[in-house]
Amino acid sequence: MSLFHRLKVASVRPETRDAVVVTFDVPPEQREAYRYEAGQHLTLRADIDGEEVRRSYSICSATQDETLRVAIKRIDDGLFSRWAFEHLKPGFALDVMAPAGHFNVPLAPDARRHHVAFAAGSGITPILSLIKTTLKAEPLSRFTLVYGNRASSSVIFKDELADLKDRYMGRFNIVFILSREHQDVDLFNGRIDAAKCDALLKAWVKPEDIDVAYICGPQVMMEQVRDRLVANGVPKTGIKLELFGAALNGAARRPRTVAIKGEAGCEVTVIHDGRSQRFSVRKNGPSLLDAALGQGIELPYACKGGVCGTCRCKRVQGDVDLDNQFALEDYELARGFILSCQSFPVSDTLTLDFDQET
């Protein structure tokens, strides 16, 4: 079964000068396949000048909306985002993979929690879905958003956030941090970095009141916020991260850290979509994802750089050396999940299961 379905673009709405909101038309027979959780993303695929290009875009609609919508920010020299700005129009049919990702927590209607999100730029996209979905699904919970941008003109979803603030008065709060536009409250000027995070945790959001924290934006900002939250007493298990950063595809492989057991190749069994397929791969050769794709086995992937998590699978048997990884949390690593695009076999046999979610 193909991983992609062709979905028609229902609408393309400019959100800021550099961002568009794209809504897909999901036919009734595909609704189940495109049912999603807040915080998940879609992999979009296009042929650009004869090259297959895949990129991940987070869903910004709420799960209760029955709408499938993403926001794409144009990057100056960006291949896919610039192509999308030129080509995506109502009626255009685009290859879209089913929703994936784990940037969320289970929601419960009787939960009384304080969810706090730190977003910068287009990092607001999955956060908007989390805000809308959570405020509807957990009527007793609160949500605070700390949202960093250059200026108010570049704030994606400014109007929608203002509407949410009115609708959920007392339950939804926003702090805009602007780096190139002066605001009266000094705390709100500048960037979201370690010092700003400390200041906000002192004056605005009590760390002991934070039950769940979501962080989405550039890598440096995410790491600084996570470290300051942990230093201020927020448990690491309550912090969820989603990196949008540039994929590291093509980055140099670091020397292998796990001892190679024996000289022989590795016999790999891949379980995907209920099917089991086998192939041999050289140790210290291509990644497991590339080796499987080279055998004609269709597996999910997007960035090939350890960022998007689309190629996540469970190591059921055997050992791998995992290279760059920015997508898995500690508990997933402990349960045996790996990123196949960044994993290299080190045992003589290996079984990978792409069907296991937990």
Ligand X SMILES: Cc1cc2nc3c(=O)[nH]c(=O)nc-3n(C[C@H](O)[C@H](O)[C@H](O)COP(=O)(O)OP(=O)(O)OC[C@H]3O[C@@H](n4cnc5c(N)ncnc54)[C@H](O)[C@@H]3O)c2cc1C
Residues that bind ligand X (CB under 6 A): 41, 55-58, 70-73, 75, 77-81, 122, 125, 242, 244, 246, 303, 307-308
Task: For residue 215, give both structure tokens.
Answer: 């962080």
Site string (257-296) toward ligand FES, x via CB under 6 A: ----------------------------------------
Total of residues contacting ligand FES (CB under 6 A): 14
Please identify, among the stretches 106-114, 132-140, 297-305, 315-323, the one whose residues bind ligand FES according to the rule CB under 6 A: 297-305
- Given ligand X, ligand FES, none, residue 149, with its beta carbon under 5 to 8 Å by kind, binds none
Which CB atom, from 127 or from 197, has the smaller least distance to ligand X? Answer: 127
d(CA 207, CA 199): 11
- Given ligand X, ligand FES, none, residue 304, with its beta carbon under 5 to 8 Å by kind, binds ligand FES
**Of 169, 171, 170, 196, which is closest to residue 185 (Cα–Cα)?**
196
Q: Helix 194-203 and helix 219-231: axis angle, to 10°?
A: 40
Given a contact cutoff of 8 angstroms between Cβ atoms, the answer to whether 216 and 222 are in contact is yes
- Shortest approach of ligand X to residue 12 CB, angstroms? 14
Q: The sheet that has 337-339: what strands, in order across it?
A: 275-281, 266-272, 349-353, 312-317, 337-339
For ligand FES, the binding residue among 55, 171, 226, 304 (CB under 6 A) is 304
Please identify, among the stretches 87-95, 121-129, 233-241, 302-310, the one whose residues bind ligand FES according to the rule CB under 6 A: 302-310
- Shortest approach of ligand X to residue 3 CB, angstroms? 16
Given a contact cutoff of 8 angstroms between Cβ atoms, the answer to whether 346 and 260 are in contact is yes
For ligand FES, the binding residue among 36, 301, 337, 344 (CB under 6 A) is 301
**Of 71, 74, 72, 73, which is closest to residue 82 (Cα–Cα)?**
74
- Name the residue with tokens 């000048």: 49
- Shortest approach of ligand X to residue 74 CB, angstroms? 7
Is the C-alpha dihedral spanning 193, 199, 203, 209 positive or negative? positive
**Contacts to ligand FES by CB under 6 A:** 301-311, 327, 339, 341
